[in-house]
Chains A and B, each alone.
Chain A
């Protein structure tokens, strides 16, 4: 079974840590984190994760800008992106999906369920989500 590798891009330290801990501890995935859109872009190119969890509201380069750049880079354009946001309304969802997001996960998430939400969104079977 391949070890899943996810990149988390979020400017809030605590959210990064809890998401990382959740996916590492509960699902056993490999996690890389980035604290800004630009750092996220670099890491997406250098580490080639299987999927990216992207915060919507970030200073400087927000989630929408980041996904735009990810979609334009040949090295990253195939990597599925899942948005994390505390504001999820129907119109937002539509806007985010249009921008190329695979799914939107509502914040706050349940640390015990996060890996299920990610697996379901990416079409990974739940059984194979461990090591």
Chain B
């Protein structure tokens, strides 16, 4: 945390007079500032000595000759720098030093990327410290963020409020939702105390509906599983059990806040000055932003489309095309008209500023800029966009994108995929029996099913993926760089998560819900967004016809006879509980299955010159009644079944002898029990695709 973050607005200061000679608060600040400055003059040399130690360590590291002694010493010096630079008005120096300390910790070898980062950071320190410190603190103070506490525990609220400024938070308090009309800022994070609530789930729903984008920390009394399950359906939240100490609450809040929000925002920086680009890259990356830098304004459009940034930083003076012209062009493209654009400019005369706003720039930062100021402006801009998006472009009920918004992004994704020869998969999901749920339980419960699915989808897809609610109960998920079968796997694991969710019906009993999905790949299954959608829709309809609750790829043979003698996977295992689980996991991935209970049955069905059952994959348990797995495997090998069929052996222990034996006998692979279902599903998939 920068030392400046905890500074409050001046009106909250209640300073009293310090000494008769120096009666004004301003005077005291000035004298302290002067003193700090003096102190810096005295200690700058010592600080730069510390930097030299770091520089020495980096030099050795680059030559692969960093001793553990020097590494330890450098870590210590970085620690000291982190603890002091901010005091003198070098908050960025503190951030860098802290990151350096972190990188040097321990004695594990550094990865190449870490070495690069370390070298970058160390190289930036000296020039940074040779520049004047941040003088005018008030300009670069990051405002504290609002933590809204909904609780009737006044004592707890008071204690949290005391510690909050140290984490750059300030507390707003309300006892009930609806009473917080006087909120002067949008909360950055909400802490909801449900201990005294008779209907915690309803209360949470109200909060989630009112502030859909604000991360939530839930404080509850018991750690009963039911409670946690009910609470968990509100998605991106942390769960705390009472009693919790104020500092623990704040730690959790700060962490939740950090992982949520604008931290993953992507920023495209266009400037012809490589030094500025490098500096910005270090600065922004250190704050968790994804940064793409671009030096050539003439190839700007390509960079823009490839990056798909959340924010654009433009230099005003560039050779070839000026930043103003770029900005104007970006604004006139409907796809980018809402992109936040920030200018770096050496000119801040009224005429230039007028021109900037005439081309609809959002904001500008005068050069030379200070890190903190730039960061505040970036965060403000992103915050605003996020708010706008949450109001306009996301579906109010489920929190995922609306159809309009996603169509725009999808078209861009497909074009990008063309250029890079990347696959894109589109999944179409449909909640099973939603009408039935609505009729039986009422629309409020039906809505909560949709909302839960929306939340799972939002948290399952990131980055370049797009999730949208297309209509009523239909969702679209588009996965960049994923093949059809990758997509089926991903959706199947989402389906497994969704199946775990429980909803309470009118009569108080719990019920679960499922969805069906079809996955199509671009361009193989459809050369346009429309074609792709239709292919996925076809697969979705097959999934529904096959009994719902499953994910099918497009282009499959939809009219597979249900009692065919050709199946995808045959399970040979006498453990009924296990086979039930396996059949379920396979079915939701769209595979057909057949179970056999013992060795002789397996040999009878699968072996012989004309076997009555054909499988692509056999999952074969080693210990079987009648004839063990090795015996079955040997027979399968003898009868040449292994030519068309892959056998995955389920061993009880991972004994080397057993493993070798299975492989010698011609098994495709083996997995030891107890195994992880996703891993086994990957094996099955590989076996079928090879």
Candidate in B19, B36, B43, B166 with the most chain A CB atoms within 10 angstroms: B166
Q: For window 1-49 of chain A, which residues contact chain B by CB distance below 8 Å? A: 12-15, 17-18, 21-22, 25-28
Contact A93-B247, Cβ < 8 Å, known A25-B32, A130-B16: yes
Query: Chain B 1-38, CB within 8 Å of chain A: the 1/0 string?
Result: 10110111000001111110010000011011001100
- Given B19, B29, B39, B87, which contacts A109 in the complex, CB threshold below 8 Å? B87
Q: Say whether A78 faces chain B, with CB atoms less than 8 Å apart.
A: no
Give the shortest distance, in Å, between A21 (CB) and chain B (any CB): 5
- Given A12, A85, A113, which contacts B6 in the complex, CB threshold below 8 Å? A113
Q: Give A22 to B28 CA distance when docked, in angstroms.
A: 10
Q: Say whether B79 faces chain A, with CB atoms less than 8 Å apart.
A: yes
- Given B32, B91, B165, which contacts A111 in the complex, CB threshold below 8 Å? B32
Q: Say whether A112 faces chain B, with CB atoms less than 8 Å apart.
A: yes
**B4, A110: Cβ atoms closer than 8 Å:** yes
Q: Give A52 to B1 CA distance when docked, in angstroms.
A: 23
Q: Give A107 to B93 CA distance when docked, in angstroms.
A: 13
Q: Say whether A74 faces chain B, with CB atoms less than 8 Å apart.
A: no
**B18, A25: Cβ atoms closer than 8 Å:** yes
Q: For window 294-333 of chain B, which residues contact chain A by CB distance below 8 Å? A: none
**B46, A25: Cβ atoms closer than 8 Å:** no
**A18, B39: Cβ atoms closer than 8 Å:** yes
**A28, B18: Cβ atoms closer than 8 Å:** yes
**B83, A86: Cβ atoms closer than 8 Å:** yes
- Given B82, B84, B91, B251, which contacts A12 in the complex, CB threshold below 8 Å? B84
Interface size on A, residues (CB 8 A): 40
Residue in A closest to B255 when the chains form the complex, CB atoms: A90
Q: Say whether B173 faces chain A, with CB atoms less than 8 Å apart.
A: no
CB-defined contacts of B451 to chain A, threshold 8 Å: none
Q: Give A131 to B21 CA distance when docked, in angstroms.
A: 13
Q: For window 48-68 of chain A, which residues contact chain B by CB distance below 8 Å? A: 57
**B28, A86: Cβ atoms closer than 8 Å:** no
**A127, B16: Cβ atoms closer than 8 Å:** yes
**A107, B162: Cβ atoms closer than 8 Å:** no
Q: Say whether B86 faces chain A, with CB atoms less than 8 Å apart.
A: yes
**A109, B18: Cβ atoms closer than 8 Å:** no
Query: Chain A 78-112, CB within 8 Å of chain B: the 1/0 string?
Result: 00000001110010011001000001111111111
**A113, B7: Cβ atoms closer than 8 Å:** yes
**A126, B85: Cβ atoms closer than 8 Å:** no
Q: Give A14 to B44 CA distance when docked, in angstroms.
A: 10
Contact A21-B32, Cβ < 8 Å, known A97-B247, A108-B94: yes
- Given B14, B36, B84, B247, which contacts A107 in the complex, CB threshold below 8 Å? B84
Q: Say whether B222 faces chain A, with CB atoms less than 8 Å apart.
A: no
Give the shortest distance, in Å, between A101 (CB) and chain B (any CB): 11
Q: Say whether B421 faces chain A, with CB atoms less than 8 Å apart.
A: no
CB-defined contacts of B98 to chain A, threshold 8 Å: 86
CB-defined contacts of A77 to chain B, threshold 8 Å: none
Q: Say whether A116 faces chain B, with CB atoms less than 8 Å apart.
A: yes
CB-defined contacts of A97 to chain B, threshold 8 Å: 245, 247
CB-defined contacts of B86 to chain A, threshold 8 Å: 107-110
Q: Give A40 to B189 CA distance when docked, in angstroms.
A: 41
Give the shortest distance, in Å, between B241 (CB) and chain A (any CB): 15
Candidate in B31, B39, B85 with the most chain A CB atoms within 10 angstroms: B39
**B82, A107: Cβ atoms closer than 8 Å:** yes
Q: Give A97 to B163 CA distance when docked, in angstroms.
A: 14
Contact A86-B82, Cβ < 8 Å, known A14-B46, A93-B251, A111-B36: yes
**A18, B87: Cβ atoms closer than 8 Å:** yes
Residue in A closest to B97 when the chains form the complex, CB atoms: A86
Residue in B closest to A21 when the chains form the complex, CB atoms: B35
Which residues of B does A touch, CB under 8 Å?
Answer: 1, 3-4, 6-8, 14-19, 22, 28-29, 31-32, 35-36, 39, 42-43, 46, 79-80, 82-88, 91, 94, 98, 101, 137, 162-163, 165-166, 245, 247-248, 251
Which residues of A does B touch, CB under 8 Å?
Answer: 12-15, 17-18, 21-22, 25-28, 57, 85-87, 90, 93-94, 97, 103-113, 116-117, 120-121, 126-127, 129-131
Could you list 6 A-B pairs, sorted by A, with CB under 8 Å? A14-B87, A18-B35, A26-B29, A110-B7, A111-B36, A120-B165
